[in-house]
Amino acid sequence: MMTLTKQSDLVKLVRKGDHAAASRALSIVVNEGQNSEFLAKEFFQFSGSAQKVGVSGPPGAGKSTLTGRLIGSYRARKLKVGVLAVDPSSSISGGAFLGDRLRIMEHATDPGVFIRSLASRGMIGGLTYAIFGAIHVLETLGCEKIIIETVGTGQDEVDIASVADTILYVTTPSMGDEIQAMKAGAMEIGDIFVVNKADLAGKDKAVADLKAALGLGHSAGQAAKAWEPPVLATSAKSGEGVAELRVELDGHWKHLKASGEGRARLKRQHATELQFWIQRRVLKTALDRVTDKILEDMVSRKTDPASIGRRLLKA
Ligand code: GDP
């Protein structure tokens, strides 16, 4: 009981905006430490109102640099920002990984910004199962905007769509081939597209190509789409276009709330979170029941994986 009391104190501290408490809570939730389930339940109650922005796109497009700029833009409006960087490596400490992200780390000492990296541990699509728990901690902390940066290994794009509310897809003028090869999936999930590195040559052509690839501007005669993904040019280096990008992100958030699409996406996120929970729990429960006797019976062909598997799941 003592521990439970302490855990509810931890929740209170996080609600008050205590970053150290949020850090501790995050570690417990992510590593499934003692009473992590109690904490996760509490944090879930305070979640559901932040805009979760997923930043996706090929490596080197400038996602980190642009994220740093976006943090600045949100902070200029006094919004509290959370950042979750999904680390593709399985390293336990994300320090080195975040260390590379100078533009993000510039904000690390700002009390209005909470930054954390999560190791993806080779989980489905690179996104860790723990991402939802982490998001709920940040929401409880009072983050109004949560930026989730994934590493565009090519497979993350679709998964981020079941985690974030708004998907920002980042590319560059020199990535014309990438656009050609861009998976239909990435095209479909993008809510806002950015041609970053607009300070380099070829941005206008890249924007036009991207618009063409997205089939934008040809909607005459068709029923107007509820949301037509804007294509913007930005330079994360100079800051050009970042204010416009923030306006589009706000616009998409308004659209989500007004159209009911936001609620639909939240339901999809919860379905995924529930799926992760069940998968982990069922797997662990069943595997914990595997005994040496069972393995012996399999060796002597008294039973087989399908029969024993069924029995373990039913128990
Ligand atoms: P990420 O892998 O998508 O996160 O890309 P990074 O943010 O790490 O950026 C990759 C490289 O591109 C770094 O050297 C950045 O300094 C550089 N970069 C990022 N944004 C811009 C930009 O707008 N213009 C130029 N010229 N370089 C940029």
pLDDT in tens, 75-102: 999 999 999 988 665 444 444 455 556 6
Q: Which of 29-43, 194-208, 296-310 has the lowest mean pLDDT?
A: 29-43
pLDDT band at 33 (very low <50, low <70, confident <90, very high): confident
Query: Mean pLDDT: which of 72-76, 129-133, 208-212, 270-274 is highest?
Result: 72-76
Question: From ligand 1's centre to the CA of 236, what distance in Å?
Answer: 7
* Backbone φ, ψ for residue 87 (5° rounding): -90, 120
Ligand 1 neighbours by CB, cut-off 6 Å? 59-65, 196-197, 199-200, 235-237
Q: Which atom, in ligand 1's list, is nearest to the CA of 101?
A: 8
Which neighbouring-strand residues pair with 168?
Answer: 55, 192
Q: Is the dihedral of CA 174, 57, 71, 250 positive or negative?
A: positive
What pLDDT is attached to residue 175?
74
Mean pLDDT of 283-307: 95
Question: From ligand 1's centre to the CA of 126, what distance in Å?
Answer: 22
Q: Which atom, in ligand 1's list, is nearest to the CA of 149?
A: 4
Mean pLDDT of 226-253: 96
What pLDDT is attached to residue 93?
43
Question: With 80 as the cut, is the pLDDT of residue 288 above it?
Answer: yes
Question: From ligand 1's centre to the CA of 105, what distance in Å?
Answer: 15
Question: From ligand 1's centre to the CA of 61, what distance in Å?
Answer: 6
Top pLDDT among 181 and 123 is at 181
Residue whose CA lies nearest to ligand 1 atom number 26: 197
What pLDDT is attached to residue 44?
96
Q: Which two structure tokens, joined as six digits, stand for 281? A: 């729990």
**Does the reported pTM lie above 0.95?**
no
Average pLDDT taken over every residue of the chain? 85
Q: Which of 55-69, 93-107, 178-192, 282-296 has the lowest mean pLDDT?
A: 93-107
Residue whose CA lies nearest to ligand 1 atom number 24: 197
Question: From ligand 1's centre to the CA of 60, what distance in Å?
Answer: 6
Distances (CA, A) of 64 to 85, 147, 265: 9, 10, 25
Question: From ligand 1's centre to the CA of 62, what distance in Å?
Answer: 4
Ligand 1: residue of 65, 200, 245 to mutate (most ligand atoms within 8 A of CB) is 65
Question: With 70 as the cut, is the pLDDT of residue 127 above it?
Answer: no
| pLDDT > 70: percent of the chain | 81
Question: From ligand 1's centre to the CA of 200, what distance in Å?
Answer: 11
Q: Which atom, in ligand 1's list, is nearest to the CA of 238?
A: 23
What pLDDT is attached to residue 239?
96
Q: Which atom, in ligand 1's list, is nearest to the CA of 236?
A: 23
Question: What single-letter amino acid sits at 100?
Answer: D
Nearest to 119 by CA among 146, 152, 84, 143: 84
Mean pLDDT of 47-56: 95
C-alpha of 35 from chain center: 24
Mean pLDDT of 159-167: 90
pLDDT tens-digit profile of 4-23? 568 889 999 999 999 999 99
Question: With 90 as the cut, is the pLDDT of residue 104 above it?
Answer: no
- Asked whether 163 and 55 are in contact (CB, 8 A), the reply is no
